[in-house]
């Protein structure tokens, strides 16, 4: 009968061990923070240095928004002077959509194709901030395009993204060229 008592003791020890493990797991779950929204954790970028550099180097007035609500979060920035003076500033809009400003002296058709990811020109135009923007649609992104930015021949400005034309217009209206 000595063998039965040993088996009971082993089974009891296993149950107690399992209870301790479950309790430890519950404690970790409760006290370790976790994010339930499922969305990506996007980091806000400070584009001040890149903007200053681009405004000094670019042969056109470089566009950046002023006065957008704080919910508009800048997430990407770059200036490539060696590659057709290309400026890019990407934003995460309040509703989660993506909106970007792009400018370049690259051949307009190629730059618009790249910035809008395949959108095509429509006949629709919008007057925003005293400038006439042309709508592009049908690609991965919708886009508003301003050719010959502030009279600089060959400089193209594109506001594109997954956002609505209303959001693209809000970004275009906030752009200050310097």
**Using one digit for the tens of pLDDT, what is the confidence trace for 30-61?**
888 765 555 556 789 999 999 999 999 999 99
Number of Cβ within a 10 Å radius of residue 44: 12
> What pLDDT is recorded for position 9?
76
Decide if pLDDT at 5 tops 70.
no
Tokens of residue 78, six digits: 């770059």
Q: Which of 140, 137, 125 is nearest to 172 (CA)?
A: 125
Give CA–CA dist 110/124, Å, rounded.
20
Burial of 12 (0-12, 13-18, 19+ CB in 10 A): exposed
> What pLDDT is recorded for position 36?
56
**SS3 assignment, position 100:** strand
Decide if pLDDT at 154 tops 70.
yes
| pLDDT tens readout for residues 105-148 | 999 999 999 999 999 999 999 999 999 999 999 989 999 999 87
Q: What are phi and psi of 12, to 5 degrees?
A: -60, -40
Q: Which helix (H) or strand (E) holds 6?
A: helix 2-31
> What pLDDT is recorded for position 126?
95
Q: Which of 87, 76, 83, 102 is nearest to 53 (CA)?
A: 87
Please say whether the beta carbons of 119 and 97 come within 8 A: no
Q: Where are the beta strands (DSSP E) in 11-62?
A: none
């Amino acid at each position: 009968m000595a063998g039965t008592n040993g088996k009971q003791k082993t089974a009891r020890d296993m149950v107690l061990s399992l209870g301790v493990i479950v309790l430890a797991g519950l404690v970790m779950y409760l006290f370790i923070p976790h994010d339930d929204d499922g969305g990506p954790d996007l980091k806000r970028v400070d584009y001040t240095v890149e903007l200053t550099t681009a405004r000094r180097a670019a042969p056109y007035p470089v566009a950046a928004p002023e006065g957008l609500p704080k919910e508009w979060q800048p997430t990407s920035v770059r200036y490539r002077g060696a590659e057709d003076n290309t400026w890019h500033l990407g934003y995460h809009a309040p509703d989660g959509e993506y909106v970007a400003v792009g400018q370049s002296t690259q051949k307009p058709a190629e730059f618009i194709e790249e910035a809008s990811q395949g959108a095509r020109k429509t006949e629709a135009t919008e007057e925003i901030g005293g400038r006439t923007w042309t709508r592009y649609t049908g690609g991965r992104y919708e886009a508003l395009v301003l050719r010959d930015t502030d009279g600089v021949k060959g400089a193209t400005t594109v506001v594109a993204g997954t956002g609505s034309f209303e959001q693209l217009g809000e970004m275009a209206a906030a752009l200050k060229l310097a």
